[in-house]
């Protein structure tokens, strides 16, 4: 009798715990969304309402002057195209090189593989500020300064985090699939393209989103390598609204909104793939 009555009590306790967790997550989500909502609504406010005290979330007088001013002062369309070009190029190149390197480290046995992989991972601990000077010199020597290639090549050809993430997943793919392909006469390249690469779809999507978001929001490298306004990406264009003495805060909020909304939509649409990719890759030994 006691066992029968304990089950409803246990289920009630579990449901109450789940309700508490959901309430905590809801409150946390609202708190995290407030800065973004304030930025969004501030882009439609006159300047006096942005600094009004006590502040209000919704504008009393809606206006698009901030967007008109922003598009009149800078070329948002060209900057948007530059950001898309850099982000897409780095993402595609990185996914290809990371997948090949991950397969090599996970499946191909060669002398010094462990030491090389450890050294490869150690590069993640090196701050980018330490390598920016030699990288700047290299880009200057090969004539790529003030071009989008100066942003694409260094980030696209070397990504230790991407290699580590995909290697963990490749190690979890059954080796029997590759052995069967070898019996049918498939070489390393064919096995990688036809068997391994399709099975990496989930972590590749997750890694691709991380890479795209990182390049879209990148400010440090474009600031160093780009000089011509025609090559500026969105972060550099938005930074033009903030001066040393005065800043056009309305136009700044409009510019940041233009830069942030596309990435927010990408994240909302692909958040399940991100979680799946990290969970599956992290569970591999």
> Over 70: is that where the pLDDT of 27 sits?
yes
Whether residue 208 sits in one domain with residue 145: yes
Instruction: Write out the residue range of the structural domain in which residue 194 sits.
Output: 75-282
Residue 98 lies in a domain: yes
Whether residue 170 sits in one domain with residue 81: yes
* C-alpha count within 13 angstroms, C-beta hemisphere, residue 183: 6
Residue 227 lies in a domain: yes
Residue 66 lies in a domain: no
pTM more than 0.85 = no
Whether residue 90 sits in one domain with residue 28: no
Reported confidence tier of residue 285, pLDDT bands at 50, 70, 90: very low
> Over 70: is that where the pLDDT of 129 sits?
yes
CA dist 141 and 121 (Å) reads 28
Q: Is 150 helix (H, G, I), strand (E, B) or coil?
A: helix
- pLDDT tens digits along 203-230: 888 888 888 888 998 889 999 999 988 8
Residue 231 lies in a domain: yes
CA dist 201 and 277 (Å) reads 9
Residue 266 lies in a domain: yes
Paired tokens of 16: 């109450």
Residue 61 lies in a domain: no
> Over 90: is that where the pLDDT of 85 sits?
yes
Residue with tokens 């930074």: 239
Q: If residue 259 lies in a helix (H) or strand (E), which one and from where to where?
A: helix 249-282
Whether residue 17 sits in one domain with residue 113: no
Domain of 266, CATH number, reads 1.10.3720.10
Reported confidence tier of residue 136, pLDDT bands at 50, 70, 90: very high
Residue with tokens 């990290």: 278
Whether residue 111 sits in one domain with residue 13: no
Domain count along the chain: 2
């Amino acid at each position: 009798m006691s066992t029968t009555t304990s089950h409803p009590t246990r289920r009630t306790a579990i449901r109450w715990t789940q309700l508490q967790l959901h309430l905590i997550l809801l409150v946390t989500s609202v708190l995290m969304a407030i800065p973004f909502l304030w930025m969004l609504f501030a882009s439609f406010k006159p300047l006096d309402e942005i600094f009004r005290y006590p502040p209000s979330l919704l504008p009393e007088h809606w206006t698009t002057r901030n967007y008109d001013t922003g598009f009149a002062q800078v070329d948002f369309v060209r900057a948007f195209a530059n950001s898309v070009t850099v982000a897409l190029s780095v993402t595609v190149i990185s996914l290809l090189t990371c997948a090949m390197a991950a397969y090599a480290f996970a499946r191909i046995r060669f002398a010094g593989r462990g030491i090389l992989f450890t050294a490869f991972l150690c590069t993640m601990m090196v701050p980018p500020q330490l390598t920016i000077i030699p990288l700047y010199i290299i880009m200057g020597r090969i004539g790529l300064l003030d071009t989008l290639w100066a942003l694409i090549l260094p980030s696209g050809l070397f990504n230790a985090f991407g290699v580590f993430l995909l290697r963990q997943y490749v190690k979890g793919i059954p080796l029997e699939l590759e052995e069967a392909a070898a019996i049918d006469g498939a070489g390393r390249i064919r096995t990688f393209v036809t068997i391994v690469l399709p099975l990496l779809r989930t972590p590749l999507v997750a890694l691709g989103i991380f890479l795209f978001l990182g390049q879209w929001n990148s400010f440090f490298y474009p600031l160093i390598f780009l000089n011509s306004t025609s090559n500026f990406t969105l972060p550099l264009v938005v930074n033009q609204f903030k001066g040393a003495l005065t800043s056009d805060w309305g136009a700044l909020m409009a510019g940041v909104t233009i830069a942030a909304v596309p990435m927010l939509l990408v994240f909302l649409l692909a958040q399940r793939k991100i979680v799946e990719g990290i969970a599956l890759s992290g569970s591999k030994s």
